[in-house]
């Protein structure tokens, strides 16, 4: 994977993480700790790199990207509110 692609993914990740960081200044409803930012950053950066890798390797199989996004959304929901009640549930 090209370093330019990784920098774009990193920039998007940092941009998305800036939203809750800025929101914490204006609202008491957003209360993220350092661990929340690390986990969210790893998930978003991992999603971006997985999609970039899948676009390069699985050009004939666009459903692979859909599965990657579905896995990301399910993991995010579980970490956020504990949809499935696993040991990593957020609550």
CA distance 91 to 89: 6
What's the pLDDT score for residue 2?
83
What's the pLDDT score for residue 90?
66
Residue 72 DSSP SS3: helix
CB-CB contact of 43 with 13 (8 Å): no
CB-CB neighbours of 27 under 10 Å: 10
pLDDT tens-digit readout, 20-29: 999 999 999 9
pLDDT tens-digit readout, 26-82: 999 999 999 999 999 999 999 999 999 999 888 888 899 999 999 999 999 988 888
Please report, for the chain, the start and end positions of each structural domain, with discontinuous segments joined by +: 3-81
């Amino acid at each position: 994977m090209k370093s330019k692609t990784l920098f774009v993914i990193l920039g998007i990740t940092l941009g998305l993480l800036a939203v809750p960081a800025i929101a914490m200044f204006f609202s008491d409803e957003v209360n993220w700790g350092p661990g929340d930012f690390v986990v969210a950053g790893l998930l978003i950066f991992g999603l971006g790199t997985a999609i970039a890798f899948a676009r390069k390797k699985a050009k004939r199989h666009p459903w692979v990207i859909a599965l990657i996004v579905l896995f990301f959304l399910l993991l995010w929901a579980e970490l956020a509110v504990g949809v499935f009640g696993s040991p990593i549930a957020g609550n």
